[in-house]
Structure 1
Amino acid sequence: MNLYLLSALWVGGAAIGAAVLAYLIRRFWAHEERARNNEAAGQVFTIVAGLNAVLMAFVLIALFDAAKEADDASYREADGLVAAAWASDSLPAGTGEQVRALARAYATTVINDEWPRMSGGTAVPSTGWSQLDRLRQAVARAQVDDEWQVERKTEAAHQLWLVYEARQDRLDAAGSGVDAVVWFTLLLGSVLSIGLPLLFGGPSVRAHVIIVGTLTATIALLLYATYQMQNPFGGGADVDPGAFRAALERFG
């Protein structure tokens, strides 16, 4: 189902449910009793809703930053792979061709095998690590004769180390998500933030229903965004392997 259609269904359903509940409470609970709750419930609501909003904002900002870092890490990894292959072109005994072939195989593994698993939140196999180690060994075995080749070999090894670091960052981002304790706190805080305004009294039923529905829709939208952003390689963030496709084009 389309991401935005699903969002509209979740947000709209939550808002309608809360609005109906608000109407039923107004219908069957005497106005005078609810009006006496306004001051106490309002003070508690200010504290609870404020703390919940701060926590939700902190989590969303952290998730947006994580998605940006995951995208940057994929480009660092792919760019380092290309740089290592280019540096290896100056090495003797066909090392350049071997490194290019291994780098192409590594990028293909990332695109076809690792990315679908990261998008689905499942574990990534060790195939990529093995291919990266073979790349390292191919560069390490190269017999260099002059200063230029020594420099190129050092550069290729350095770039492969950057690939290693960026790969680790990418896999760490895929397995991060939102902790269960944080989810529990967000959900409980959201329920309390919606439940407390149901205790308020006022002269207009329509205004009360609209206020509760709007508040619920806003909180539901933020929770849905949090859920979609918790995996940067799937859902709303959906970081794609475009960096590795570009690397394959550079390898020819």
Structure 2
Amino acid sequence: MSVLVLDFVPLVGCVLYALLVGLLTRRLVSHEWRERQNTMTGAVTATICTLLVLLLSFVIVTIWQSLSGAQATVAKEVDSLGTAYYAAQQVDDQQARLRIEHQILDYADRVINVEWPLMASHRSDATATGYVHDMRDEAYALTPSTAQQQLVQDHLVTHLETLSEFRRDRITAVSSQVPGVLWALLGIGAAGTIGLTALLGTPSGRMHMALLLSTAVIVGFALTFVNDLSFPFDGLAKVTPTSFKVFLSRVDPPR
């Protein structure tokens, strides 16, 4: 299921929970009792809200750093791909040069059109991984006839190894998400904030429900924002394959 759909789960859950708690509170707890407890309830609610805000800030900063790290990893992967392609252009063996150049271009195209959509559902493409292995095999199989060609092979192998490393980092980032324990703490904080807000005494039932729903919507949107950022390759703030597309649009064709 797309994260864009799952994003609405925290918001809808908070609103439904607020409606349920609001109706139960008005039925089971008298208005007079709630008004007498306003001072204490307000103080406890403010404390829980402060703790929830601090926890949300910590989680958002952490996942934003993870998102930025994923973007940097993709940029480094494409940079390694480009330098490997340039090194391959210096290979004297025409057949080997063409094979490596086509493998690099096929890899970039495969990542854009096949693997990137898979990453939205926390998967990677085995064929793209195979392209990386084939490129390395071709590079290791070169038989340099001069010292210059030996240097070209060394550079090509180094850049392909670096490409493989950054690819592994990107695939690792595909499965990154907010740990379950943090989601549990956020859920407890959200439930406590909405539940205690329901215990506040207000002059009218409409005002009470409006206050409760407003709190639920604010908390729900905050949790939705966290959920959206927690998946680097899906959601509104997702990492896109723009770097790969730029590489393909500017690279010289195989020769």
What TM-score, normalized by structure 1, do the two folds share? Answer: 0.84
Cα drift, residue 97 of structure 1: 1.6
Counterpart of 1:62 in structure 2: which amino acid?
Answer: T
Cα drift, residue 173 of structure 1: 1.0
Cα drift, residue 147 of structure 1: 3.8
Determine helix, strand or coil for the equivalent of 1:176.
coil
Q: How has the CA–CA distance of structure 1 residues 243 and 44 changed in structure 2, closer, same or farther, with 3 Å as cutoff?
A: same
Partner of 1:92: 92
Equivalent pairs counted in the alignment come to 250
Instruction: Find the aligned partners of 1:16 and 1:180 in 2 and give their Cα distance.
Output: 22
Partner of 1:119: 120
Instruction: Find the aligned partners of 1:40 and 1:223 in 2 and give their Cα distance.
Output: 27
1:225–1:236: 8 Å Cα contact kept in structure 2? Answer: no
Counterpart of 2:70 in structure 1: which amino acid?
Answer: A
Q: Which moved more, 1:78-87 or 1:15-24?
A: 15-24
Q: How has the CA–CA distance of structure 1 residues 73 and 5 changed in structure 2, closer, same or farther, with 3 Å as cutoff?
A: closer
Instruction: Find the aligned partners of 1:134 and 1:59 in 2 and give their Cα distance.
Output: 40
Instruction: Find the aligned partners of 1:24 and 1:181 in 2 and give their Cα distance.
Output: 29
Counterpart of 1:157 in structure 2: which amino acid?
Answer: V
Instruction: Find the aligned partners of 2:209 and 2:252 in 1 and give their Cα distance.
Output: 61
Instruction: Find the aligned partners of 1:157 and 1:189 in 2 and give their Cα distance.
Output: 51
2:174–2:232: 8 Å Cα contact kept in structure 1? Answer: yes
Cα drift, residue 102 of structure 1: 1.0
Cα drift, residue 205 of structure 1: 4.9
Partner of 2:106: 105
Determine helix, strand or coil for the equivalent of 1:65.
helix
Counterpart of 1:89 in structure 2: which amino acid?
Answer: Q
Partner of 1:170: 170
Partner of 2:67: 67
Instruction: Find the aligned partners of 2:8 and 2:168 in 1 and give their Cα distance.
Output: 36
Give per-residue Cα distances to partners, 1:200-234, cap 9 Å, x unaligned: 22445555444332221111001111222221111
Give per-residue Cα distances to partners, 1:167-215, cap 9 Å, x unaligned: 1111111111122222222112211111111112244555544433222
Instruction: Find the aligned partners of 1:125 and 1:10 in 2 and give their Cα distance.
Output: 31
Partner of 1:191: 191
Cα drift, residue 3 of structure 1: 9.1
Gaps of 5+ in 1: none
Determine helix, strand or coil for the equivalent of 2:48.
helix
Partner of 2:130: 130
Cα drift, residue 155 of structure 1: 2.0
Q: How has the CA–CA distance of structure 1 residues 90 and 135 changed in structure 2, closer, same or farther, with 3 Å as cutoff?
A: same
Give per-residue Cα distances to partners, 1:55-110, cap 9 Å, x unaligned: 22222222222222222212211221121011121122123222111111211221
Partner of 1:158: 158
1:19–1:210: 8 Å Cα contact kept in structure 2? Answer: no
Q: How has the CA–CA distance of structure 1 residues 90 and 108 changed in structure 2, closer, same or farther, with 3 Å as cutoff?
A: same
What TM-score, normalized by structure 2, do the two folds share? Answer: 0.83
Gaps of 5+ in 2: none
Counterpart of 2:234 in structure 1: which amino acid?
Answer: G
Cα drift, residue 17 of structure 1: 6.7
1:23–1:205: 8 Å Cα contact kept in structure 2? Answer: no
Q: How has the CA–CA distance of structure 1 residues 106 and 3 changed in structure 2, closer, same or farther, with 3 Å as cutoff?
A: closer
Coordinate RMSD, CA, aligned: 2.9
Alignment of 1:1-252 (within 5 A): 11=11, 14-15=14-15, 18=18, 22=22, 25-26=25-26, 29-94=29-94, 95-121=96-122, 123-203=123-203, 205=205, 207-249=207-249, 250-252=251-253
Q: Which moved more, 1:142-151 or 1:102-111?
A: 142-151
Instruction: Find the aligned partners of 2:165 and 2:136 in 1 and give their Cα distance.
Output: 14
